[in-house]
Amino acid sequence: MEKTYFDIISKYISLSGEEKCKMEALKIFHSLKKETILLKEGQYSNKSYLVLQGCIRTYYIIDGEEKTTALFTEMERLSPNCVLNKKPSKHFISCIEDSILAITDHNDEKEIYKKVPKIKHFFRVHLEYLLAKSQYSLDEFKTSSPEQRYISLIKNRPELLNRVPQHQLASYLGVTPQSLSRIRSRIRKENS
């Protein structure tokens, strides 16, 4: 199975045999089944998640209903706020698909970087890009209508349409599943 991780990583970084051995010993790569829950509301955690393959989501349970707030696919990183503020998590994290993740403990990262310095670049190179994307997602959510958000999703993250269940996609867009159906049929009519 480790071969799979390195096949994926080799797209982004070239590791020597020795570096691969060290990485294997660090046990940061995990293969997880669809619907695995990685973090629950109320739990403390030190872990960050980098998606190598698959899709994970954060969701809150509010008045008994799941509210999906964020979706992470290949090479996106989720740093839960509870890791940094050392408070119990307010949300859940689970796998939408069978996924391969690099899961790192906040306290161990320095040790990992010392053992395999190249990996620091691999983990950190995208941070600025992810920060810009995250800041833009918030701007977009604040300034657009649900229909505009759906059109933006079709344009910018079309793969999510087939990978994420409709009711989760609806709450991610801030609408009910019924509203999402209406938006979809309105757009279909306009384009037909």
Binding positions for a second copy, rule: CB under 8 A: 48, 58, 60, 62, 67, 69-70, 77-81, 83-84, 90-91, 124, 127-139, 141-143, 174
Q: How many residues does the chain have?
A: 192
Euclidean distance between CA atoms 66 and 48, whole angstroms: 22
Nearest to 22 by CA among 154, 112, 130: 112
Cβ nearer to a second copy, comparing 70 with 187:
70
E strands, the chain, in order: 29-32, 37-39, 47-53, 56-62, 65-72, 77-78, 92-95, 99-105
Q: Between 31 and 134, whose beta carbon lies closer to a second copy?
A: 134
Nearest residue (CB) to a second copy, 33 versus 87: 87
- Collapsing DSSP states into helix, strand and coil, what is residue 102? strand
Rounded CA-CA distance 34/14 in Å is 29
Q: How far apart are CA 27 and CA 111, in angstroms?
A: 13
- Residue 152: CB minimum distance to a second copy, A: 11
Nearer to a second copy, 33 or 124 (CB): 124
Q: How far is the CB of 90 from a second copy (least distance, A)?
A: 8
Cβ-based nearer residue to a second copy, 34 or 133? 133
Q: How far is the CB of 170 from a second copy (least distance, A)?
A: 12
Q: How far is the CB of 7 from a second copy (least distance, A)?
A: 26
CB 164 to a second copy: min, Å: 15
Cα 2 from Cα 22, distance rounded (Å) = 12
